[in-house]
Structure 1
Amino acid sequence: MISKEEYASYFEQYIALVSNDKSIIENLKWSQQLFDEVLRNLSKDKHNYAYAEGKWTLKELMQHIIDTERIFGYRALCFARNDSTDLPGFDQDIFVANDNANKRDYFEMLDEMKTLRKSTIQLYESFEDIALLRIGTASGNKISVRALGYLFSGHQIHHLNIVKERYL
């Protein structure tokens, strides 16, 4: 069971969306399946849709999830390997402003997310239990490899909930 001491309070909003009774791997598979089921069959007019002026399009939101998973995956790898380097944060709005998402093929993005998630699962399958408990610092906050594992799924579900509420 994950402890709230393993992550900054800000991440509670994401981690609370996944089951502590399921393993990290089970949650990763579950959240990716839900994500793909909802987004795979949307009509083409939704692909570049933003629910309000100044909000991200669906493609930008998907690219944000992809980018965040890559960054958090790097953090998990560093901390699992016992690298004590403080890692920097990232500005999601700068990333989105420079991501070219709206010119990308929607289905290629979905496939990229699926491939990336498989890679994340394989990364976590490679970690020994002791590695999951290691804690590092990113964006000035302490976080465990285990908490990052749950965060991947929680972040994806958080944005999937936004898609359901505001984009569909």
Structure 2
Amino acid sequence: MLQRPNHEEYSPYFEGYISQVPEGDYQAFLQSQLDEIIGIYAQMTDEQALLRYAPGKWSLKELLGHITDTERVMSYRMLRIARGDTTNLPGFDQDVFIANAAFDDIAVADLLRDFQAVRQATFTLLTTIQEAAWPRLGVSNSTAMSARALAYIVAGHAQHHLNVIQARYI
């Protein structure tokens, strides 16, 4: 079972995400998130998924695209660090991603399929990481990070946005 990362394995910036992941079976938690996201988005029309809870906030489509993009980036970082790559991995600007993705023009069903594919890729990646590689440190955005911290960030980031969806959109 994947153990929670120690505070030395990530920047304090990520504590809010990591704290969103409950104790217990990490992969079961990822699966429950997948099921929840499918349950929320599968019943939405494209028009409903354009909802923004306030002016200037992301639409539900943009939020799903952001969750997917972030999981892609964090999983890639996890792969590189788990495999021993110590190259300083660059950061990314989520607002630039959103501005250039045109998620609102993509069918919600396609965005959901994309998220499902990325989450499935995360599941399969997890099976290829050996126990000794999880605490391995690398550098991401000029910050020391472990592979397991990145795994927890993937889950915690998605949970953060699920909480926002529940509180502000639904």
Specify if TM > 0.5.
yes
Q: Which ranges of structure 2 fall in alignment gaps of 5 or more residues?
A: none
1:56 Cα deviation from its structure 2 partner:
0.7
1:43 Cα deviation from its structure 2 partner:
4.7
Tell me what 1:29 maps to: 31
- Aligned partner of 2:20 among 7, 17, 20: 17
Tell me what 2:48 maps to: 46
Q: Secondary structure, in 3 states, of the residue corresponding to 1:98?
A: helix
Q: Which ranges of structure 1 fall in alignment gaps of 5 or more residues?
A: none
C-alpha distance in structure 1 between counterparts of 2:30 and 2:147, whole Å: 14
Is 2:11 aligned against 1:8? yes
C-alpha distance in structure 1 between counterparts of 2:131 and 2:12, whole Å: 23
Tell me what 1:102 maps to: 104
- Give CA-to-partner distance per residue, 1:39-74, whole Å, 9 cap, x none: 222354321111111111111111111111111111
Tell me what 2:156 maps to: 154
Q: How many residues align?
A: 167
1:18 Cα deviation from its structure 2 partner:
1.1
C-alpha distance in structure 2 between counterparts of 1:44 and 1:71, whole Å: 26
Tell me what 2:129 maps to: 127
1:20 Cα deviation from its structure 2 partner:
2.9
Q: More deviation in 77-86 or 35-44?
A: 35-44
Question: Equivalent residues in 2 for 1:35-114 (5 A)?
Answer: 35-114=37-116
Scaled by the length of structure 1, the TM-score of the pair is 0.94
* Coordinate RMSD, CA, aligned: 1.3
**Which ranges of 4 or more aligned residues in structure 1 deviate by more than 4 Å?**
none
Q: Secondary structure, in 3 states, of the residue corresponding to 2:25?
A: coil
